[in-house]
Amino acid sequence: MNRIKIAIANKTYDVKIAITDEEKETGLQNITNLPENEGMLFVFDPPQTVSFWMKDTIIPLDIIFLDEDMKVVYVANGEPNSEKIIEVDNISYVLEVNRNSGISIGDEMELYPNDKMLLLDADGKVQMELEGNERLFSREHTKKLIKYAKKAYLTKKDNDYKTLGEKLFDFLEIQENTEPEYVDK
């Protein structure tokens, strides 16, 4: 199961990513101890009504429901071994972490993939490595590309990677046809 670092409510977590039906069904069942900075992130694409319960989960959890913009829309207290169904509409992500996380409605989640972005030339040789806080596009286009990239990274779906590629080339064309802007020192 893949892992990713996330940040939410001024905390950083190392979380497992549950994408397949089997991973989602198993979740954190039968875990006896969850380190304070760990959890599990469930990915739902497209956004949908999701149902969670705590059957066979023996530790108390915060179950955080997020929309497609990675904004918290609902937080539930998961009681160990409870069969009470918690159902929320229009959800793209669910984050499970230890109880009393301090995460609340309105908080936003940030993803930090472990990979560097490589810029390649036409022959496939690495020209530059980007690690963070660097950008090649306008702030507006960068934000949009990051959103598409995060979705593709989490879902691993060919269609999401295709959309990311299409947007990338759209923004490159816009950039190519825009007059240069210079800043005086």
Task: Determine the pLDDT at residue 113.
Answer: 60
| Burial letters 35-49, b for 16+ CB under 10 A, else e | eeebbbbbbbbeeee
- Asked whether the predicted pLDDT for residue 120 surpasses 80, the reply is no
Query: 70-100: per-residue pLDDT in tens?
Result: 999 999 999 999 999 999 999 999 999 999 9
- Asked whether the predicted pLDDT for residue 139 surpasses 80, the reply is no
Task: Determine the pLDDT at residue 35.
Answer: 96
Beta bridge partners of 15: 4, 39
- Where is pLDDT greater, at 57 or 116? 57
- The CATH class, in words, for 3-111 is mainly beta
Query: 107-119: per-residue pLDDT in tens?
Result: 999 987 655 666 6
Residue extents of the structural domains in the chain: 3-111, 116-176
pTM of the predicted protein model: 0.69
